[in-house]
């Protein structure tokens, strides 16, 4: 599915010990799944991507690409090729602030339309979006000026919601423009220099489950994308839910990541060749994200989920990536699992704003809350 999304969390009925871990703690419990429903689709009905027809867009796109080439810390989720894979090349709008030919600030928006309303939301497979400034302009004395310049370019919108990257810690200019904010959390491991040191930070239940799973299972990387999707879908089926993304959307994302060497798949299988679990790690040079995962419900007591998480962490260490991001979670039964690996909380902002009372009413009638 290619609709824009925001997260609705998956609840689990698994029993846990005092640490929040069980031997059967699986990838479903370790991964925050993105909501399978577009914000406005959830609230009203079917919506569609707005095609950007304004004549300045090609120039903005070129400037945005130039900025990403020149600024090395633009997050993976905001790279133009990543957004093309998730939104379509015409499905996202780049806002840019330039002086002469120097690009000073950018802000990508996933813009959608329902009837006469336009709104901004989060695309499928995109964890964070937000404004990004040139490194020379990130001092507080500059940030308000350039955030204001980006805000002045926002189109007329019935609704706006984005999850900003954790690096963005100043939402005051947005507050002054009527945006509301809530703080959310992901869990991260840092620094990632030595595998033994990272494992030592995990609690004894995690280390025990890893050792037990390693005696029963082997980790491979050779299975095809259809196999990964099938295993991932099983976790949703176990919970009586439809998987929130289509195989076609995964193919597009995989092709973009694979072409740049920024994706790695992990499969845990036994001696009979049965795949117990599968996971997908995506990365750039600054951070790795444990993005998608699933497991066979009939085999979920083998500890495969814990094992694959550890192997993904080890892989990130081997690639010299300094931060491992679990992509959440805000769920009370998932947070202890993250902490059991020695992860620390990292806050990030969710910002939203309504500019249409009927649109807000329809959200309320459908029980949607942006926070």
**Does 161 lie in the same domain as 94?**
yes
Rg (CA), the chain: 21
Domains contained in the chain, number: 2
**Does 342 lie in the same domain as 193?**
yes
**Does 55 lie in the same domain as 203?**
no
Q: What is the DSSP string of 195-258?
A: HHHHHHHS-HHHHHHHHHHHHH-EEE----HHHHHHHHHHHHHHTT---SS-HHHHHHHHHHHH
Q: Please provide residue 131's backbone torsions phi and psi, each rounded to the nearest 5 degrees.
A: -70, 150
Specify if 22 maps to a domain: no
Contact yes or no for 28/295 (Cβ under 8 A): yes
**Does 326 lie in the same domain as 254?**
yes
Distances (CA, A) of 281 to 66, 78, 251, 316, 321: 27, 17, 15, 9, 12
**Does 213 lie in the same domain as 149?**
no
Specify if 200 maps to a domain: yes
Q: What is the pLDDT of residue 17?
A: 34
Residues present in the chain in total? 371
Q: What's the CATH code of the domain at 120?
A: 3.40.630.30
**Does 201 lie in the same domain as 104?**
no
Angle made by CA atoms 194, 78, 367, in degrees to the nearest 5: 105
For residue 164, give its domain range: 41-183+350-365
pLDDT digits (tens, 9 = 90+) for 22-66: 333 333 333 333 333 344 333 333 344 443 444 456 679 999 999
**Does 333 lie in the same domain as 234?**
yes
- C-alpha span between 107 and 215 (Å, rounded): 48
Non-local (6+) Cβ contacts of 325 within 8 A are 186, 187, 188, 287, 288, 289, 290, 346
Specify if 370 maps to a domain: no
- C-alpha span between 164 and 158 (Å, rounded): 19
Closest CA to 213 of 264, 263, 267: 267
Contact yes or no for 315/321 (Cβ under 8 A): no
Residue 60 is given by DSSP the state H
Q: Is 331 exposed, middle or buried (0-12, 13-18, 19+ CB in 10 A)?
A: middle
**Does 199 lie in the same domain as 166?**
no
Specify if 139 maps to a domain: yes
Looking at 284-330, which runs of residues are DSSP E strands?
A: 288-295, 324-325
Closest CA to 145 of 153, 137, 155: 137
Non-local (6+) Cβ contacts of 327 within 8 A are 31, 32, 127, 186, 289, 290, 291
**Does 200 lie in the same domain as 118?**
no
Per-residue pLDDT of the chain (371 residues; tens, 9 = 90+): 333 333 333 333 333 333 333 333 333 333 333 333 344 333 333 344 443 444 456 679 999 999 999 999 999 999 999 999 999 989 999 999 999 889 999 999 999 988 889 999 999 999 999 999 999 999 998 999 999 999 999 999 999 999 999 999 999 999 999 999 999 999 999 988 899 999 999 999 999 999 999 999 999 999 999 999 999 999 899 888 899 999 999 999 999 999 999 999 999 999 999 999 999 999 999 999 999 999 999 998 899 999 999 999 999 999 999 999 999 888 888 888 889 999 999 999 999 999 999 999 988 888 888 87
Q: Please provide residue 259's backbone torsions phi and psi, each rounded to the nearest 5 degrees.
A: -60, -25
Distances (CA, A) of 244 to 5, 69, 81, 254, 300: 9, 32, 22, 16, 21
**Does 354 lie in the same domain as 322?**
no
**Does 175 lie in the same domain as 87?**
yes
pLDDT digits (tens, 9 = 90+) for 258-274: 999 999 999 999 999 99
Q: Please provide residue 298's backbone torsions phi and psi, each rounded to the nearest 5 degrees.
A: -75, -15
Angle made by CA atoms 17, 19, 24, in degrees to the nearest 5: 55
- C-alpha span between 178 and 184 (Å, rounded): 19
H/E stretch holding 371 reads none
**Does 237 lie in the same domain as 292?**
yes
Specify if 127 maps to a domain: yes
Cα torsion angle, 268, 325, 109, 90, sign: negative
Question: What is the value of pTM for the model shown?
Answer: 0.86
Specify if 317 maps to a domain: yes
Q: What is the pLDDT of residue 57?
A: 63
Specify if 260 maps to a domain: yes
Closest CA to 233 of 250, 220, 216: 250
Specify if 357 maps to a domain: yes
Query: What are 279's strand-pairing partners?
Result: 266, 293
């Amino acid at each position: 599915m290619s609709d824009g999304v925001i997260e609705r969390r998956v609840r689990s009925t698994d029993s846990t010990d005092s640490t929040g871990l069980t031997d059967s703690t699986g990838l479903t419990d370790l991964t925050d799944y993105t909501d399978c429903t577009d914000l406005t689709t959830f609230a009203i009905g079917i919506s569609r991507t707005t095609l950007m027809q304004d004549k300045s867009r090609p120039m903005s796109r070129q400037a945005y690409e130039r900025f990403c080439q020149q600024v090395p810390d633009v997050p993976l989720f905001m790279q133009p090729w990543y957004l093309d894979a998730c939104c379509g090349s015409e499905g996202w709008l780049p806002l840019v602030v330039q002086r002469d030919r120097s690009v000073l600030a950018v802000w990508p928006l996933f813009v959608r339309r329902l009837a006469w309303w336009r709104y901004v939301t989060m695309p499928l497979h995109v964890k964070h979006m937000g404004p990004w400034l040139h490194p020379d302009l990130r001092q507080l004395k500059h940030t308000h000026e350039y955030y204001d310049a980006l805000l002045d370019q926002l189109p007329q919108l019935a609704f706006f919601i984005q999850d900003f990257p954790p690096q963005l810690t100043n939402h005051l200019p947005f507050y002054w423009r009527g945006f509301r904010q809530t703080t959310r959390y992901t869990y991260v491991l840092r620094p990632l220099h030595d595998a033994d040191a990272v494992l030592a930070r995990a609690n004894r239940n995690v280390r025990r489950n890893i050792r037990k799973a390693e005696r029963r299972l082997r980790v491979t990387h050779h299975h095809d994308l259809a196999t990964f999707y099938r295993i991932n879908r099983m976790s949703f089926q176990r919970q009586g839910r439809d998987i929130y993304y289509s195989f076609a959307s995964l193919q597009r994302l995989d092709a973009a990541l694979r072409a740049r060497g920024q994706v790695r798949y992990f499969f845990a299988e036994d001696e009979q060749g049965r795949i117990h679990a599968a996971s997908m790690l995506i990365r750039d040079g600054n951070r790795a994200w444990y993005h998608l995962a699933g497991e066979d419900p009939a085999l979920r007591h083998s500890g495969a989920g814990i094992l694959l998480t550890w192997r993904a962490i080890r892989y990130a260490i081997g690639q010299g990536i300094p931060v491992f991001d679990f992509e959440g979670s805000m769920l009370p039964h998932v947070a202890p699992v993250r902490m059991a690996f020695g992860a620390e909380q990292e806050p990030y902002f969710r910002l939203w704003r309504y500019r249409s009372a009927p649109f807000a009413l329809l959200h309320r009638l459908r029980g949607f809350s942006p926070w």
